[in-house]
A and B are shown apart, each in its own frame.
Chain A
Amino acid sequence: MSTKKSNDERNNKCDKKTDSLGKELNKLKSEIKKLKQEVKEKDNKLLRSYANLQNYQKTTEKKSQYMENETKKKYLSELIELKELLKKAYEDKDPRAGLKLMLNNLENFFEKEQIKYIDCVGKIFDHNIHHAVTAIEKNDCEDGTILEEIKKGYFIDDKLLRPSQVIVAKKK
């Protein structure tokens, strides 16, 4: 009798355990399902943000190309203007007065764009704004004095646009 009782008890315990394990299994299953869904969503989000980034890069590229063209247009139209006038000056018997005005216009344009000429002859060479093309041996002036300007240099907004190309004195 007692064996039967203990068997029943054991069976009962087993049933309970199976029951709770089953519950646990179902819980885990639904958790896995939930996590799988979450991973899927995150994966999708990741892919989308990666694609977004690539599309953003594409539009940025397009935009900067557009901006570049707009800037080009601005300067090219000034050049076209100059070309047309130069043509007229060329056909003019005495073009000096016309050329003077054109030069004034160009200078005004550069001034408006904050372009400034670098004054250099007689000054001491500065590698930040001058480019030495040749050095000539000379003793009657300070070493490094700029003797001649080969090509004019310019600043734009106090930054170097292009350095002056110069000939520099060098002590023997």
Chain B
Amino acid sequence: MGKILGIDLGTTNSEVAIIEAGKPTIIKSAEGQQYFPSVVAFTKDGEMLVGETAKRQAVTNPEGTVHRIKRKMGTGEKTKVHGKNYSPEQISAFILQKIKKDAEDFLGEKISDAVITVPAYFNDDQRQATKNAGNIAGLTVKRIINEPTAASLAYGLDKKGDHKIAVYDFGGGTFDITLMEVGEGVFEVLSTNGDTKLGGSDMDQALVDYLANEFKKKNEIDLRDDPKSLQRLLESAEKAKMELSSTLQTDINLPYIAVVNNEPKHLEVKLTRAKFEEIISPLINKAEKPCKQALKDAKLKPSDIDYVVLVGGTTRIPLVRKKVEEIFGKKAKRDVDPMECVAIGAAIQAGVLSGEIDDDIVLLDVTPLTLSIETLGSVATELIPRNTTIPTKKSKVFSTAADNQPSVEINVLQGERPMATDNKSLGRFHLDGILPAPRGIPQIEVTFDIDANGIINVSAKDNGTGKEQSINITGSTKLSDEDIERMKQEAEKHAEEDKKRKEKVEIRNNGDALAHTAQKTLDELKEKISDEDKESIEKALKELRETLSKDDSDKIKEQTEELSKVLQKASTAIYQQAAQEAAAQQQAAPQGDNNETWSGHPSGDDKTIDADYEVKDDKKKSDDKKKKD
């Protein structure tokens, strides 16, 4: 079966969602908005407009614009526009057509099916009319579901056993309260109530009135009389309302809002949440009565309600949520966007019908904590990050930390801390038989393979010899929730000091690597380096090595930089000399067979990661070797 749209066909705005890769996603309109204004217009030229464009021209063409057609669904009452009669089904169909087209453009495929939501109080005629509207729009309506049911589905409340739910839907223009009972995934409406003339736009208006009255007191001019000022006031009132949902105070500054006696006037108001709440509380209190009535009709006490679900943008206002808590005596669920949850619930229902959401589908586990291995300087180098879905497999190539290092130790770690010692070691093993080679040359490929049961197979393979070693670790994903939480919290707590420790190790590793390079340069290019340069490199190298044996990061860093500087000076001189020689030879023999190439320092393969193994048992050996050199 093809994809099925989930449509929240609203009074002022409509929204549409679909299941994509198992997840519900909101589809934006062609105009780039999360919603489609439920407005249809017919221009004098006979053009039909739907959504945002219809809304933009509404005041210039009121007789040709149809709003809030949802209120007429099922009545059979015709709307006459430019001499032509339209049924409510037809008008709704135009909205659905626009939604269908934009969704098809977004998805790149034809859509023929939909699940559409309706208010819980819609009767059979109204539901049938909604279904007809879908059919006229070219959609097979697979199911009509109640808006509060859809909202509950978005919260997964169908899977939590038998209980009672209150859905508190406070939108832009209307308020609805629905009490439902759910058992074995079936929703039953117990009672419903509401206020069709109460919504967020009333709050905007109340705020505009307050601002305009305050301005009038000082400037003796009513901003509401000028459409230009009124529009700016309306926009900033809505913005302030939204802002005060997350902050305690906001500034409303409208420069050049009016001109009084040739003098420009600015509106400057500091609005606190407390003042805002004082302005809107009469409106919010209006929602209480319908709730009490709904409880009475369902013969329920507030304490009988198990879950309260919030729908509609107005429920983002803290005072609204406080009121809900006051009425029902419990905190409301709010982790799904209240503006989107009805469309999302419709998409979930659609996904169940189309088989895209399959209850039988295997729920895959994730790795609760990061898996890494220990590398040079006790650093934990990440292979598989936390929250990766399993089964999964990941490889990284590492190298040795010392010349002629015959073996490496793989220490498998679990945890979020950057240093190996702070994490839990799940197991360790050695890979030996590495052929003698300078540090950084051998390629050891480490692979973590976690199967669906959480069993980790860690293998290390020497890409040079093909030699391989591995271990199996069981039970790594079976950590208790407390353990995981504790480990995460510890990582957060120590984040700052851990960062410093890791930096320290990195400075030391950098210094160590540069000392190695410098020694190599001296050995290989002793003939080419001037005595003066040689002396300064040797001096800087000696100093760095001495400091490396102590614990002073700043000094190590400083001396690493110093050594790097003298090395660069020497190599620049070598290049210049080589260039001069080449130029001289070219003059002598233009096609000279100058085969002599400068053999640079061994640099690792591109794939090799700059995180070397710590050398344990071979430290002495390589040090001895260096001494001999």
Binding site for B on A (CB under 8 A): 44, 47-48, 50-55, 57-58, 125, 127-128, 130-135, 144, 148, 150-151, 160, 163, 165, 167-168, 170
Contact = CB atoms under 8 A, between A and B. Distances in A.
B364 interface: yes
A95 to B, nearest CB: 15
20 contacts: A47-B391, A51-B389, A51-B392, A53-B21, A55-B392, A57-B23, A58-B388, A125-B57, A125-B60, A127-B49, A130-B56, A131-B56, A132-B58, A134-B227, A135-B59, A150-B227, A163-B56, A167-B227, A167-B228, A168-B60
Contact of A144 (B60, B228, B362): B60
Contacts of B387: 58
A51 B391 contact: yes
B60 A170 contact: yes
B499 to A, nearest CB: 21
Contacts of A144: 60
The 7 tightest CB contacts between A and B, nearest first, are: A54-B389, A127-B57, A134-B227, A131-B56, A51-B389, A132-B60, A127-B53
Contact of A47 (B31, B60, B231, B362): B362
Contacts of B452: 44, 47
A54 B22 CA distance: 10
Contact of B231 (A48, A51, A57, A151): A151
B65 to A, nearest CB: 11
Given A44-B391, A54-B389, A127-B54, A168 B451 contact: no
Interface of B: 21, 23, 31, 41, 43, 49, 53-60, 227-228, 231-232, 362, 364, 387-393, 451-452
B53 A128 contact: yes
A132 B59 contact: yes
A74 B59 CA distance: 38
Contacts of A44: 391, 451-452
Contacts of B23: 57
A135 B452 CA distance: 65
A48 B21 contact: no
A135 B60 CA distance: 6
A41 to B, nearest CB: 12
Nearest to B450: A51
B395 to A, nearest CB: 15
Contacts of A148: 228
B256 to A, nearest CB: 13
Given A127-B43, A127-B49, 13 more contacts: A50-B364, A50-B389, A51-B392, A58-B388, A125-B60, A127-B41, A127-B57, A131-B56, A133-B59, A134-B59, A134-B227, A150-B227, A151-B232
Contacts of A165: 231
B60 to A, nearest CB: 5
B214 to A, nearest CB: 22
